[in-house]
C-alpha cells in the first residue's frame, strides 16, 4: 500500500472527505451525461473500490446520481437544491442575468458569465444572441484553464504577475496536452495585449472563426469576481466592433462591481451587533 505522507505542516485530517469532495467536483466538471466509473478512477487517481465507496456515500447524500442504463455518475438533485440555497449568499448569476440579457440584446451576439475556480474558469451562463450564425464554443458548466477563452483570459489578465506565472505553471501540462491552440507563450502574448487594450480577445483559438472579447470585474476587496464576455464569428469581430463590444462589456462590468459593492455593504453592516475585529481563523497558540 503506497500512501501519501502528509507532507509538510499539513495538520488536518479527514482524507476520505477530501477525496469524496474531489470526486464531486470531478463529476461536476463533466458537462454531458456524467462519467463512467472507469473514467472517475483514472481522473481521480483513486482505485476502484475506494472510488466506488465514496461515490456511494455521495449517492446516499443525493449529491450524485447513477443513471440506471449508462451507469454513469452525474450530479444529483441535492446538488441542485444546495446550489439554490447557496445562491442566497452567492447570487452572482442572478446579479449578472440582467447584464447578460442586455448585452445579448444590444449586440445580437451570445454573452457569457464566467468565474474563476482556482486555476480554471467556469462558465456559469450562456445567454444566446439573436444573430443567426452563432458559435457554440462555450456551454454552461464548461471549464477551461485560465487564459483559454475570452472571459477566462480577461480574468487572468487582471491578476498580479506572480500569480499569473504560478497559474500558467500549474496549467502548463494540461495546456500542452489538451489545448493545442493555446501554447503558453501565445497566452502570455494575449495577456499583454489584453492589458494594453483594456479587454481580452480570443481570436478563434478554441474553435476556428469563433472569436470572443471579455472584461473581468472584481469584488470590492479587489479579488476577481468573474468576467463577462461576448462571442461571435470572426466577420463580426473586426477591430472597430471589438472596441464597440468592449464598451458595452465595460458598462456592464461596472454595473456588476456596483452591485457587488452594495452587497458587501449590506453583508458586513448586517453582521450581528457592533464592530468586532476579526480573529485569525486558525489556531493562535501563545509563545
Answer for the pair 63, 29: CB distance below 8 angstroms, yes or no: no
Taking the complex as a whole, how short is the minimal distance between the CB of residue 23 and a copy of itself, in angstroms? 10
Task: Compare residues 72 and 248 and give the one whose CB is closer to a copy of itself.
Answer: 72
Taking the complex as a whole, how short is the minimal distance between the CB of residue 84 and a copy of itself, in angstroms? 5
Name residue 111's beta-bridge partners: 127, 230
8-state DSSP, 277? P
Q: Is 283 in the site for DNA (CB under 7 A)?
A: yes
8-state DSSP, 235? G
Residue 38, contacted partner among a copy of itself, DNA, none, CB below 5-8 A by kind: DNA
CA distances from 245 to 55, 109, 129, 233, 253 (A): 44, 10, 13, 13, 12
CA distances from 5 to 19, 43, 57 (A): 15, 21, 25
Window contacting DNA (CB under 7 A); options: 43-51, 105-113, 176-184, 201-209: 43-51
CA distances from 284 to 277, 278, 279, 287 (A): 15, 13, 9, 9
Q: Is 117 in the site for a copy of itself (CB under 8 A)?
A: yes
Q: Is 220 in the site for a copy of itself (CB under 8 A)?
A: no
Window contacting DNA (CB under 7 A); options: 40-48, 201-209, 224-232, 262-270: 40-48
State how far the Cα of 226 lies from the Cα of 220, in Å rounded to an integer: 12
Q: Is 141 in the site for a copy of itself (CB under 8 A)?
A: yes
State how far the Cα of 283 lies from the Cα of 213, in Å rounded to an integer: 45
Q: Is 184 in the site for a copy of itself (CB under 8 A)?
A: no
Residue 134, contacted partner among DNA, a copy of itself, none, CB below 5-8 A by kind: none
Residue 124, contacted partner among a copy of itself, DNA, none, CB below 5-8 A by kind: a copy of itself
Task: Compare residues 7 and 177 and give the one whose CB is closer to a copy of itself.
Answer: 7
134 membership: H or E segment, kind and range: none
Q: Is 54 in the site for a copy of itself (CB under 8 A)?
A: yes
Taking the complex as a whole, how short is the minimal distance between the CB of residue 116 and a copy of itself, in angstroms? 10
Residue 4, contacted partner among a copy of itself, DNA, none, CB below 5-8 A by kind: DNA
Cα–Cα nearest to 236, from 115, 109, 60: 109
Taking the complex as a whole, how short is the minimal distance between the CB of residue 142 and a copy of itself, in angstroms? 10
Amino acid at each position: 500500500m503506497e500512501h501519501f505522507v502528509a507532507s509538510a505542516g499539513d495538520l488536518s485530517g479527514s482524507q476520505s472527505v477530501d477525496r469524496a469532495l474531489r470526486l464531486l467536483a470531478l463529476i461536476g466538471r463533466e458537462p454531458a451525461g456524467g462519467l463512467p466509473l472507469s473514467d472517475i478512477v483514472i481522473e481521480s487517481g483513486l482505485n476502484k473500490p475506494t472510488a466506488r465507496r465514496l461515490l456511494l456515500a455521495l449517492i446516499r447524500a443525493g449529491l450524485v446520481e447513477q443513471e440506471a442504463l449508462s451507469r454513469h455518475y452525474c450530479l444529483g438533485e441535492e446538488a441542485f437544491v444546495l446550489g439554490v440555497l447557496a445562491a442566497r449568499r452567492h447570487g452572482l448569476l442572478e446579479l449578472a442575468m440582467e447584464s447578460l440579457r442586455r448585452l445579448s440584446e444590444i449586440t445580437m451576439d451570445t454573452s457569457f458569465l464566467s468565474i474563476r475556480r482556482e486555476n480554471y474558469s467556469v462558465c456559469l451562463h450562456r445567454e444566446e444572441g439573436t444573430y443567426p450564425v452563432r458559435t457554440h464554443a462555450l456551454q454552461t458548466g464548461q471549464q477551461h484553464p485560465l487564459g483559454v477563452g475570452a472571459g477566462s483570459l480577461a480574468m487572468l489578465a487582471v491578476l498580479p504577475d506572480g500569480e499569473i506565472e504560478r497559474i500558467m505553471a500549474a496549467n502548463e501540462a494540461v495546456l500542452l496536452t489538451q489545448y493545442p491552440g493555446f501554447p503558453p507563450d501565445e497566452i502570455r502574448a494575449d495577456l499583454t495585449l489584453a492589458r494594453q487594450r483594456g479587454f481580452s480577445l480570443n481570436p478563434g483559438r478554441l474553435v476556428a472563426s469563433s472569436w470572443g472579447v471579455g472584461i473581468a470585474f472584481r469584488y470590492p476587496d479587489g479579488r476577481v469576481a468573474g468576467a463577462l464576455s461576448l462571442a461571435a464569428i470572426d466577420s463580426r469581430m473586426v477591430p472597430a466592433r471589438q472596441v464597440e463590444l468592449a464598451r458595452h462589456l465595460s458598462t456592464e462590468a461596472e454595473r456588476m462591481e456596483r452591485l457587488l459593492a452594495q452587497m458587501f455593504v449590506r453583508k458586513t453592516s448586517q453582521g450581528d451587533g457592533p464592530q468586532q475585529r476579526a480573529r485569525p481563523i486558525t489556531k493562535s497558540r501563545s509563545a
